[in-house]
């Protein structure tokens, strides 16, 4: 569905689904093709994302894959600062989302390094200061469903309290933080169902199948991040390097089910997927 974001007083309207390109300043993300751990690699990746037509860059300095190493606050700050400085040298205007669950880093990224959006995988559970910080900063916020932490999330896939309906569980568990954000005065909220986070293989596909219900429940832009994830690699018995065709297939399904934003490693493929899918609607 069409949606708008207030980026520091600049109203951006998206009349078609947006493509968010992933730029990880990490050595250990699950997809090796997304590693950019020095200035030259970051610059090359940022230029590629922009040239291939991304609407937003999502910059992360802390891998959220299961079993990833912990990253100190100081190291995450160093990574995000380096990434933002390079991106802004290339493009002063492209919206940048910073992928962090730490409120202090969110604050520095917005106020010191000219980031625009906060993408929090923890829906405010890990850092209690995140919601007040986002409200103070008055920036768009991506509210993603997750249980536990990246290290423990796959131990929390029991949705029996919701009749084993993962979609009902996601809707219920996102509703409370969404209400808190709204009461705090946060107006631009993007919903991310959290594919791969505290969901098993079957649950991920059930969640994707019920994406229209999630969109109807919240009436907010819905972000889908399924690029090269284990719901493809495990199903097909392949490595992440070989998962682009599966990613395109699932992104097509997501767009036909009402996704507003695709978060992807492969920007050019996603831009084509959006164009072709829009022609079908």
**Nearest Cα residue to 97 out of 149, 58, 135, 136:** 58
Strands 3-7 and 10-14: antiparallel
Nearest-angstrom CA–CA distance, 38 and 83: 9
Q: Which two tokens stand for residue 98?
A: 């910073």
Alpha carbon distance 203, 264 (integer Å) = 21
Task: Give the whole-angstrom CA distance, residue 37 versus residue 227.
Answer: 20
Helix (H, G, I), strand (E, B) or coil at 192: strand
> Rounded to whole angstroms, how far apart are CA atoms 168 and 14?
28
Is 88 an active-site residue?
A: no
User: Is residue 222 classed as helix, strand or coil in its secondary structure?
Assistant: strand
Provide the 8-state DSSP code for 12: E
Q: Would you say 216 and 210 are in contact if contact means Cβ atoms under 8 Å apart?
A: no
Q: How far apart are CA 38 and CA 246, in angstroms?
A: 30
Active-site option among 79, 199, 228, 229: 229
- Tell me the C-alpha to C-alpha distance, in Å, between residue 170 and each of 12, 201, 207, 247, 257: 28, 15, 9, 22, 17
Residue 10 designated active-site:
no
Which residue in the block uniquely carries the two structure tokens 């730490």?
Answer: 102
Which residues does the annotation mark as catalytic? 229, 263
């Amino acid at each position: 569905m069409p949606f708008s974001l207030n980026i520091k007083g600049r109203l951006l309207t998206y009349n078609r689904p947006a493509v968010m390109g992933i730029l990880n300043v990490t050595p250990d993300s699950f997809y090796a093709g997304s590693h950019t751990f020095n200035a030259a690699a970051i610059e090359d990746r940022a230029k590629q994302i922009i040239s291939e037509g991304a609407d937003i860059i999502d910059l992360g300095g802390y891998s959220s894959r299961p079993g990833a190493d912990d990253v100190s606050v100081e190291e995450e700050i160093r990574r995000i600062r380096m990434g933002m400085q390079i991106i802004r040298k290339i493009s002063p205007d492209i919206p940048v989302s910073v992928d962090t669950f730490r409120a202090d880093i969110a604050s520095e990224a917005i106020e010191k390094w000219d980031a625009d959006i906060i993408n929090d995988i923890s829906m405010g559970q890990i850092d209690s200061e995140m919601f007040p910080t986002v409200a103070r900063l008055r920036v768009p916020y991506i509210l993603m469903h997750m249980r536990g932490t990246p290290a423990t999330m796959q131990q929390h896939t029991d949705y029996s309290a919701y009749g084993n309906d993962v979609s009902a569980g996601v809707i219920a568990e996102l509703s409370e933080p969404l209400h808190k954000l709204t009461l705090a005065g946060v107006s631009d909220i993007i919903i991310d169902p959290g594919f791969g986070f505290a969901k098993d293989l079957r649950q991920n596909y059930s969640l994707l199948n019920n994406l229209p219900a999630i969109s109807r429940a919240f009436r907010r832009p819905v972000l889908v991040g399924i690029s090269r994830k284990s719901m493809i690699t495990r199903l097909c018995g392949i490595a992440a390097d070989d998962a682009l065709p599966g990613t395109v297939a699932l992104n097509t399904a997501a767009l036909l089910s009402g996704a507003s934003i695709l978060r992807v490693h492969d920007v050019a493929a996603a831009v084509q997927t959006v164009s072709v899918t829009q022609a079908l609607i």
